[in-house]
Amino acid sequence: MSEEIVHEHQMTNTHILVGEFDYWEPASFEEALSLLRANTGRAHVLAGGTNLITWIKMERLAVGCVINIGKVPGLAGIASGDGKLDIGALTTIRAIRNDPAIQAQYAALAEACAAFGSTQIQMMGTIGGNLCNGSPASDTVPALLALDAQLVLAGLDGERTLSVEEFLVGPGKTALREGELLVSIRLQRPQPGTGSAFIKISRVAADLAKANAAAVLAREGDRITACRLAFGSVGPTVLRAWKAEEVFLGQPFSPELALEAGRVASQEIQPIDDVRSTAWYRREVVEALTHDVLQLAWERAGEQEGRGDGETGRQAGTETDAQGNARITHHVSRSAEHDIKLTVNGVEHRFKVKPNKLLLNVLRERLHLTGTKYGCGIGECGACTVLLDGRPTLACLTLAIAADGSEVLTVEGLEGPGGELDPLQEAFIEHAAFQCGYCTPGMLMMSKNLLQENPSPTENDIRDHLKGNRCRCTGFASIVRAVSSCTHSRAPEEQM
Ligand SMILES: Cc1cc2nc3c(=O)[nH]c(=O)nc-3n(C[C@H](O)[C@H](O)[C@H](O)COP(=O)(O)OP(=O)(O)OC[C@H]3O[C@@H](n4cnc5c(N)ncnc54)[C@H](O)[C@@H]3O)c2cc1C
Ligand code: FES
Ligand code: FES
């Protein structure tokens, strides 16, 4: 069924993406590079959008043109060969976190991705976006720096490879040149006897770091033969603690030595006071973090001695869209309206949208599906969560035009054909599992996604999956109980 609903809902102000921009969706990598060259000085690359859309909303950036590389084939996925692992720039944080080869061989990176923001941010955000954002508080960058990752950049003039240190220039500044794209991140396969770890301290589970630390150690017997230590959120860029590394090199490992390295590291970092922490606290915590991360990496180096290769995935690349049609490049100028098709809760709709229209605007103002809420508007509360082609997505950070052709499930779509509530909704009622009217729909959508992905989650799985929707105003225990009551692993008496 095709339908157009044109009434704008006058009572909401969800249309807070006021900046206007031309929009390009290149069909190929070469096309993306040509568009970047043709739009020098005004183009911004859009990957997952978790940083870029937030900045445009906050009017921190005047954007002439957005080039959405999100559908460019060949830029997402994890591949291995020749003793290397290659992570495509568009690979999501979530995909890296869940990759068995990364978990087995690059524990620091897997742990950095697990500690990263909310589940929705992990599912939308890409590793390339995290690097190119240039934030000193990034989670993956300390792990990549400690693992000595090489970054492959490409422009129309060719390809070059930089180390992470060469790439980081200053707060929010990288060595990426105009017209260049980050293509992939290369990691050498660790030698036997190498271990790594990452630890983050933050105000709440889904927040940016007050401080984080990553370590890579190599050992021969009881001696440390190589050591790389990197920290985030404690300087103008993610940085290495060279002097602390020297404390360790060639020495037999001991917890006292790890503490000494921590004391040296805490004097080597360059922390400041900001909204998340103080310089004093950061120095104190880095001392302890260094000890803990080195201890963990050391233990893992022992486990890794003599370990062979793990399995790796393959580089993904689709030349067709979701309908199987060959991809074509789209261009929509800032004032033009583009036809998009969305299948929302099983019903097909067609709309005309300008490039700066958000998915949230379309759902609330065109379809009057006001169950999807506008809370913070900047990715922090999860109230606007919908399932986009099955994946939890923050509608407040998603351009409607980029969702063209997708299937959307909103909280209204959880209802059965006869109007009956989803068992999850029944369970929320039964267990009085409420947050406020703003927060509950997002909770339900995340719970739905969790149970689809993992029908038997543990309590920890539930808490982790919903961490981006947790609000300090209410209790969380009843929500965990409600979701638990819908799992396959619930106790037999609870299933009655
Ligand atoms: C609520 C919230 C919580 C967050 N929590 C965390 C956290 O815990 N830890 C953390 O590290 N970060 C966090 N972030 C920051 C953000 O989610 C990450 O930096 C994310 O990885 C960015 O990826 P993206 O694909 O969304 O990037 P985008 O927003 O699409 O892009 C970010 C920047 O990189 C550029 N870019 C992207 N890809 C490329 C490429 N391949 N080549 C060249 N340039 C490119 C863009 O032009 C833009 O300048 C959070 C953000 C929000 C909104
Ligand atoms: S996360 Fe989208 S409104 Fe808060
Ligand atoms: S704002 Fe919704 S429960 Fe706190």
The two structure tokens encoding residue 427:
């369970």
Torsions phi, psi of 387, nearest 5?
A: -100, 120
Tens digit of each residue's pLDDT (9 = 90 or more) over 350-370: 999 999 999 999 999 999 999
Q: How do residues 271-317 score in pLDDT, each as one tens digit?
A: 999 999 999 999 999 999 999 999 999 999 987 654 445 445 544 55
What lies within 8 Å, CB to CB, of 393 at 6+ separation is 120, 123, 124, 359, 385, 386, 387
Mean pLDDT for the stretch of residues 363-380: 94
Q: Tell me how far apart the alpha carbons of residues 345 and 414 are, in angstroms, rounded to a whole number.
A: 8
CA 98, 121, 280: angle at the middle one, nearest 5? 100
Q: How far is the CA of 398 from the centre of ligand 1 (A)?
A: 13
Tell me how far apart the alpha carbons of residues 387 and 446 are, in angstroms, rounded to a whole number.
8
Q: What pLDDT digit, counting tens, does each position of 72-90 carry?
A: 999 999 999 889 999 999 9
Q: Confidence class of residue 319 from pLDDT cuts 50, 70 and 90? A: low
- Mean residue pLDDT of the chain comes to 91
Ligand 3: atom nearest CA of 474 is 3
Question: Residue 475 Cα, ligand 3 centroid: separation in angstroms?
Answer: 10
Query: CA-CA distance, 78 to 87, in Å (whole number)?
Result: 5
126-173 pLDDT, tens per residue? Answer: 999 999 999 999 999 999 999 999 999 999 999 999 999 999 999 999
pLDDT at 490: 54
For the stretch 394-411, pLDDT in tens is 999 999 999 999 999 999
CA–CA distance, 283 with 211 (Å, rounded to integer): 9
pLDDT mean over 451-462: 96
Ligand 1 contacts CB of residue 441 (under 6 A): no
What tokens appear for 460 in the block?
């920890």
Cβ atoms within 10 Å of 382's Cβ, excluding its own: 31
In the reported structure, the alpha carbon of residue 8 is separated from the centroid of ligand 3 by a whole-number distance in angstroms of 27
Domains contained in the chain, CATH given: 22-71+318-412 (3.10.20.30), 76-304 (3.30.465.10), 415-495 (1.10.150.120)
Residue/partner pairs of 34-37 with CB below 8 Å, 24 or more apart: 34/156, 35/67, 36/67, 36/155, 36/178, 36/179, 36/180, 36/181, 37/155, 37/156, 37/179
pLDDT tens digits, one per residue of 322-332: 556 666 777 88
d(CA 297, CA 219): 10
> Which SS3 state, helix, strand or coil, does residue 163 take?
strand
Contact (CB, 8 A) for 300 and 196: yes
The Cα angle at residue 333 between residues 329 and 336, in degrees rounded to 5: 115
- pLDDT tens, 26-66? 999 999 999 999 999 999 999 999 999 999 998 888 899 99
Pocket test for ligand 3, best of 474, 476, 478, 479 (most atoms within 8 A of CB): 474
Question: Cα-atom radius of gyration of the chain, to the nearest Å?
Answer: 23
| Inter-residue contact 318 to 84 (CB < 8 Å) | no
Model pTM score: 0.93
Specify the pairing of strand 65-68 against strand 22-25.
parallel
CA of 493 to the centre of ligand 1 (A): 45
Structure tokens at 29: 């990598």
Q: Which of ligand 2's atoms lies nearest the C-alpha of 380?
A: 1
Ligand 3 centroid – CA 95 distance (Å): 29
User: What is the pLDDT averaged over residues 431-439?
Assistant: 89
Q: How is residue 92 annotated by DSSP?
A: B
Q: What is the pLDDT of residue 61?
A: 86
Decide which of 407 and 336 is more confident. 407
What mean pLDDT is predicted for residues 112-133?
A: 97
Asked whether residue 473 carries a pLDDT value surpassing 90, the answer given is no
| Confidence check: pLDDT of 67 > 90 | yes
* Amino acid code (one letter) for 25: E
Question: How remote is the CA of residue 250 from the centroid of ligand 1, in Å?
Answer: 38
Structure tokens at 163: 């180390």
Flag the least confident range among 7-21, 97-111, 448-462. 7-21
214 backbone φψ class: left, alpha, beta (φ>0; ψ -120 to 50):
beta
Nearest ligand by distance to the CA of 433: 3
Residue-level pLDDT at 204? 84
Instruction: Report the DSSP beta bridge partners of residue 184.
Output: 88, 152
Segment 470-492 mean pLDDT: 81
**Can you spell out the DSSP letters for 167-218?**
HEEETTEESPPTT-EEEEEEEEPPPTTEEEEEEEEESSTTSPEEEEEEEEEE
User: What share of the chain has pLDDT > 70, as a percent?
Assistant: 91
Residue range 243-254: mean pLDDT, rounded: 94
Q: H helices within 197-304, ranges in order?
A: 242-248, 255-268, 279-304
Query: Is 488 exposed, middle or buried (CB count within 10 Å of its CB: 0-12, 13-18, 19+)?
Result: exposed
**Ligand 3 pocket: which residues have CB below 6 Å?**
435-436, 438-439, 471, 473-474
Counting from 1 in the atom list of ligand 2, the atom nearest the Cα of 394 is 2
